[in-house]
Amino acid sequence: MAFSCTICGQVSTSICVSCTKDTCDDHLCILCKSCSDCCQHEVRLDERPDIRPTVRETLEQVTERVGE
């Protein structure tokens, strides 16, 4: 029986521990087992640029500084 990721529609293999929605590997945080909507980490920003553009810009600035 296949379930679909509630975010992208791909076949899901896990559920979010926070909201229990079906979530695919791409949208399930390996650190907290939560979907992109519930995860507090900033490892999936590329997939949700519409949600957190400000945080993404900050992250890029930090990355630049680390590279110097």
Environment class of residue 48 by beta-carbon count within 10 Å: exposed (0-12), middle (13-18) or buried (19+)?
middle
Selected binder of Zn ion within 4, 8, 11, 61 (CB under 5 A): 8
Residues counted in the chain: 68
Shortest distance, CB of residue 48 to Zn ion, whole angstroms?
11
**Site map 11..50 versus Zn ion, x via CB under 5 A:** -----x-xx----x-xx-x-xx--x-xxx-x---------
Nearer to Zn ion, 1 or 64 (CB): 1
- Which H or E element spans position 15? strand 14-15
